[in-house]
Amino acid sequence: MRQATGSQRVVVLGSTGSIGVSTLDVIARHPDRLRVHALSANSRMEDLAGQAAACGAPVVLVPDDAARARFVAAWRGENLPEIRVGAQALADTVAEAQCDMVVAAIVGAAGLPSALAAARAGKRILLANKEALVAAGTLFMQAVRDSGAELLPIDSEHNAIFQCLPHHGVSGNRAHAPSEPATSVRRLLLTASGGPFRLADPADLQSVTPAQACAHPNWSMGRKISVDSATMVNKGLEVIEAHWLFAMPPERIEVVIHPQSVVHSLVEYVDGSVLAQLGNPDMRTPISYGLGFPDRLESGVGMLDLARVGRLDFEEPNFARFPCLPLCFAALKAGQGACIALNAANEIAVQAFLEGRLPYTWIARVIEASLEWQAGWPSATLGSLEDVLAADAAVRAYAGNLGLA
């Protein structure tokens, strides 16, 4: 494979997932300016081997020796890439000089240590892993500011907002993390599709199956975020993500249901102007924006045909149908311990639901019970990665022992 020497070297964390696959698709379209330095995956070593062979990755990151053996057995290319084993290898690889940018696309708080390592190392970070910000917003944003890292959101809503904001967070063509909200901005409006149960009768949700919950009307995504979209925990996590990314107070962030998923989010200015970013629902648009910033790259996404879309609808979210959404707003207002509890309890509950051990409607109950339990903790600083991981582990143990999960 021919590789340009002046190109940017990308580490894709979680390359076998939905975001990872879309990222590699965009990178492959731009061999003149992008190349892969390393790929990571936690499972599906056959997929990882295929990806590494196709893009010529010099390094792959696998969780343990068993995965290493599966990777070697699955390898069909010429020379094996360097195989690094264990979680620490992720943090080390994103920090090394051969890495220019990191796509943080691991699912869940498991992605926090490596995303934080990229922030501390001052790299360009394309952040998909919203759970890292939810669990450790203060720590993560401080690391970005201290190191001068460049943080580009690729969650579609936040990418849309980033595109619509006055570029007060950009200097010298580098994106920086603002520490105060833009004064000309009144509100951020996050759009949400409403997921597969937007019109469902809440009484019918008790018997929902994982297949039904994962059948998103507009987006094709990993299973965890698909369930989060059905419960609207995803939107709640995104409210918290927007709070950190744009230094925006919770009362200036709103959620609006928009079933077509064409308007990806909006920024309302003090003069009454509302700017929105539109496009087909395909993550390659925000990913290519992050990979190319400040340039625009061809992404493979088809052009938006407005006449075919026909109409754009908007409605207020129904908190009775989506009880997790107010729980997320409450967690943001309560503070970081509550946000850690929200995220960890949700991960435990969603996993139990996907494995058939928990009814769908109990996801909200597990979150609520965990938030109530966490509220009784003595106030403590959560100033280090170790503090955050310890709090996260405590909530997981509690939620897993509720007798529900």
- Residues near ligand NAD (CB under 6 A) are 14-20, 41-43, 105-107, 110, 128-131, 155, 219, 221-222, 224-225, 283
Query: What 8-state DSSP symbol labels residue 315?
Result: B
Of the pair 35, 235, the CB lying nearest ligand NAD is at: 235
Q: How far is the CB of 232 from Mg ion (least distance, A)?
A: 11
Binder of residue 346, out of Mg ion, ligand NAD, none (CB less than 5 to 8 A by kind): none
The number of residues that bind Mg ion (CB under 5 A) is 3
Of the pair 155, 347, the CB lying nearest Mg ion is at: 155
Of the pair 89, 164, the CB lying nearest ligand NAD is at: 89
Binder of residue 20, out of Mg ion, ligand NAD, none (CB less than 5 to 8 A by kind): ligand NAD
Binder of residue 348, out of Mg ion, ligand NAD, none (CB less than 5 to 8 A by kind): none
Of the pair 153, 182, the CB lying nearest ligand NAD is at: 153
Binder of residue 288, out of ligand NAD, Mg ion, none (CB less than 5 to 8 A by kind): none
Binder of residue 229, out of ligand NAD, Mg ion, none (CB less than 5 to 8 A by kind): none
Q: What is the DSSP string of 200-223?
A: --GGGGGG--HHHHT--SS----H
Nearest to 292 by CA among 184, 200, 175, 376: 175
Separation CA 66–CA 356 (nearest Å): 27
Alpha-carbon dihedral sign for residues 77, 82, 84, 89: negative
Q: How far is the CB of 183 from ligand NAD (least distance, A)?
A: 29
Of the pair 276, 287, the CB lying nearest ligand NAD is at: 287
In the bound complex, which residue of the shown chain has the CB atom lying closest to ligand NAD?
17
Alpha-carbon dihedral sign for residues 387, 346, 109, 146: negative
Of the pair 113, 169, the CB lying nearest ligand NAD is at: 113
Question: Using CB under 5 A, which of the segments 153-161, 201-209, 246-254, 328-336 binds Mg ion?
Answer: 153-161
Q: How far is the CB of 118 from ligand NAD (least distance, A)?
A: 14
Q: How far is the CB of 388 from Mg ion (least distance, A)?
A: 22
Nearest to 99 by CA among 3, 4, 7: 7
Q: Is 155 in the site for Mg ion (CB under 5 A)?
A: yes
Q: How far is the CB of 80 from Mg ion (least distance, A)?
A: 36
Q: Is the bond preceding residue 63 a cis peptide, omega within 30 degrees?
A: no
Measured in whole angstroms, how far is the alpha carbon of residue 325 from the centre of its chain? 17
Q: Are 280 and 156 in contact (CB under 8 A)?
A: no
Q: Are 49 and 62 in contact (CB under 8 A)?
A: no
Q: Are 206 and 361 in contact (CB under 8 A)?
A: yes
Q: How far is the CB of 203 from ligand NAD (least distance, A)?
A: 29
Nearest to 23 by CA among 103, 131, 91: 103
Nearest to 380 by CA among 388, 372, 369, 370: 388
Could you give the strand order of the β-sheet that contains 263-269, starting from the edge strand earlier in sequence?
A: 253-257, 185-192, 263-269, 274-278
Q: How far is the CB of 63 from Mg ion (least distance, A)?
A: 26
Q: How far is the CB of 277 from ligand NAD (least distance, A)?
A: 15
Nearest to 327 by CA among 241, 237, 395: 237
Binder of residue 222, out of ligand NAD, Mg ion, none (CB less than 5 to 8 A by kind): ligand NAD
In the bound complex, which residue of the shown chain has the CB atom lying closest to Mg ion?
155
Q: Is 241 in the site for Mg ion (CB under 5 A)?
A: no
Residues lying near Mg ion in the complex (CB under 5 A) are found at: 155-157
